[in-house]
Structure 1
């Protein structure tokens, strides 16, 4: 009896699946064809873009990133970091926003003489070798060690504190007003919540999001305090001359200084760590004399 019932059930399921396939087959075919066409179209556009980038002027760095911001040249501290380095090293470059995400699924990335490179720090190190622009060569071993520690703290720790404020804690959703994206697509109601969910998941895996908001803000404050204490009255982090670590520190602080209206971190720069506020202005004047022209829309 059990076997008979099992055979009947399998027979009914089989008929049901056949009926469902007959009904949905046209739609399934349309979906498969549409996906294939879109994939082929995107692949073709990708090849055209690479052909254009590969035929660019020799030794011209094509910096791939998201569009310019309203108050800061970019919403990504890593883009500001890399672009500041390119300016520090006097390397000729141009901005391209057609394909922001690179071969590692991150931004920024660059194309140079047909070669693709990703990760801001690795790019800086490779360009430093290629162009002989190692701004840390005059530092002592101890200074290089300290630079490395600050680099990791900023890129891998303070970064997540900023992400949590920008995408998760800020109930005014100021990120929706930092770029022209909000006029080009339903940024505020569609894109922002999706990114916020993704950022929160990533920050949870990293560990920062497992703390309370008060704890995360205090973690960020202690990172800023460490930078402020070490900077002191020096013009740059390692002394009188800027080095690569300044690119990373400025890239992150630029987000607090210009892209975090209403955040506790901006208040910290204004009240507790005024030397960091002055540091941002100093870096801006030295390496970004065209800052206002690099905004979208440009300012006079």
Structure 2
């Protein structure tokens, strides 16, 4: 049995973390049996981040490594229907989401005042009220350092929104009139795209980035299809 350790649901999406939602969506697309154990402290993970799983008593972290491990362990390939070009597209789409669009989402949640006001009320609910300001400052300091390492903190808020628009335009163009990024059927890239797009489009959070994502009708329709197909139950 796979045990999935991740944040609990919030903001009207199955998981507030794009990476947690990516992995659980992958598990559902693959039809794998699993159980969930909610965790609020990422430091409990083997690499200090969520999500992670245990499989045969071994803890495994990082969504890409987990997905590869599970496909080898259970002998299946979620991208079996893709040719070499399609597999290349799937990797490229996943990297765009994981390495660029998700960090921008993190910025507008945690470092932009509009997003932070909403996030802290939910994410710090279990922390005693007198400690919340200090915890918030520590979280913002860590996130600012992480994003600085990616080079994002060199840019203004408007410039970051411009980068986000480029990402969303690219995803909208690659999806086109297809039902899924994998074509007629979802592929591994759909786990990554849904993980971040659901957190932008279906989430109740209100940020400039969320508003921007909701303006792409094809991406909104895509999220609705994935929600109905993967998360109906």
TM-score under structure 2 normalisation? 0.91
Q: CA deviation at 1:191?
A: 2.5
Where in structure 2 are there 5+ consecutive unaligned residues? none
Aligned to 1:239: 183
TM-score under structure 1 normalisation? 0.72
Where in structure 1 are there 5+ consecutive unaligned residues? 1-59, 291-300
| More contact order relative to length (CA 8 Å, sep ≥ 6) | 2
Q: Aligned in 2, Cα 1:196/1:258: closer, same or farther, shift over 3 Å?
A: farther
1:201 partnered with 2:122: no
Q: Which structure features the higher share of helix residues?
A: 1
Deviates more, 1:191-200 or 1:205-214: 191-200
Aligned to 2:82: 139
Higher Cα radius of gyration? 1
SS in 2 for 1:95: strand
Kindly report the root-mean-square deviation, in angstroms, between the aligned alpha carbons of the 2 structures. Answer: 1.8
Deviates more, 1:242-251 or 1:94-103: 94-103
Aligned to 2:72: 129
Q: Runs ≥4 in structure 1, deviation > 4 angstroms?
A: none
What CA deviation, in whole Å up to 9, does each residue of 1:8-59 have, x standing for no partner?
xxxxxxxxxxxxxxxxxxxxxxxxxxxxxxxxxxxxxxxxxxxxxxxxxxxx
Distance 1:171 1:252 in 2: 19
What CA deviation, in whole Å up to 9, does each residue of 1:209-250 have, x standing for no partner?
111110011101110110001101110012101001000010
Does the CA contact (< 8 Å) of 2:202 and 2:223 recur in 1?
Answer: no
Does the CA contact (< 8 Å) of 2:12 and 2:204 recur in 1?
Answer: no
Does the CA contact (< 8 Å) of 1:75 and 1:178 recur in 2?
Answer: no
1:174-193 to 2 correspondences below 5 Å = 174-179=118-123, 181-186=124-129, 188-193=132-137
1:41-52 to 2 correspondences below 5 Å = none
Q: CA deviation at 1:188?
A: 4.9
